[in-house]
Amino acid sequence: MGRLVPIVEGDGEVEAVPILMRRYLAIKRRWDLQIARPKNAHGCGNLTKIGGLERFIELAFRERNCSGVLVLMDADSEEACPVKLAADFVSRIHAHGARYPTAVVFARREYEAWFVASLSTIAGASGVSPEAVFEGEVEDLVGPKQWVSRNFPRDRIYKETEDQAPMTDLIDFCVAATKSRSFRRFTNAMHDLIHAIDSQQIVVTPSESIEMNDAFDNGVASNI
């Protein structure tokens, strides 16, 4: 049975990202694929530095029964552009040599923005107050993690290692994809990996042969 190997940013994502990926596979009824324990980069800086991304990619490729790799990081600085960051990672993976299909995803600005994108299914069913409301553009929200924490009860704060996984289980994929461009990129990335595995092609996405902006927005409905 083939395995998709995630590379993630921190301890919370180690538990949460496999849930997100398994939920996508369940929607697609892909019971033939498993999710391996993620490789924890302990911060995006350990991938952006020279040789960092390449080391983790190699670790993922060496995972038993590896069929594909998903790199999922935060684009959490004010200047960070998910499209440009993904393009840089794609270039480096090509230069290293891809032995399995590989997809790169940057959440704008943090993974927690995807919770805000699906607030209608998360508020009241998790630590987030049932009265929580967000009316702006999710992609423009500065500090999604802090926003989520502010909407927790006064006697507790949001903790990635405790709350990220159960809240991930509450994301409505269609709702989140409607409100978050980077979440749409995640669904596109999973679609690309599965298609590459089925067609026995080694691809690295977003593809350098198409417009990166299109890679983030293309085929929303068909990929969920």
Rounded CA separation 25/68 (Å) = 13
For residues 209-217, give the mean pLDDT: 45
Rounded CA separation 143/105 (Å) = 19
Q: pLDDT exceeding 70 applies to what percent of the chain?
A: 92
Helix (H), strand (E) at residue 102: strand 102-108
Tens-digit pLDDT profile for residues 65-98: 999 999 999 988 766 788 889 999 999 999 999 9
Report domain extents, the chain: 2-206
Closest CA to 60 of 49, 50, 47, 48: 47
Q: What is the pLDDT of residue 76?
A: 80
Q: pLDDT exceeding 90 applies to what percent of the chain?
A: 83
Prior bond of 109 cis (ω within 30°): yes
Rounded CA separation 15/37 (Å) = 8
Rounded CA separation 184/191 (Å) = 11
Tens-digit pLDDT profile for residues 131-176: 999 999 999 999 999 999 999 988 889 999 999 999 999 999 999 9
Is 71 in contact with 185 (CB distance < 8 Å)? no
Q: What is the pLDDT of residue 155?
A: 86
Rounded CA separation 207/218 (Å) = 12
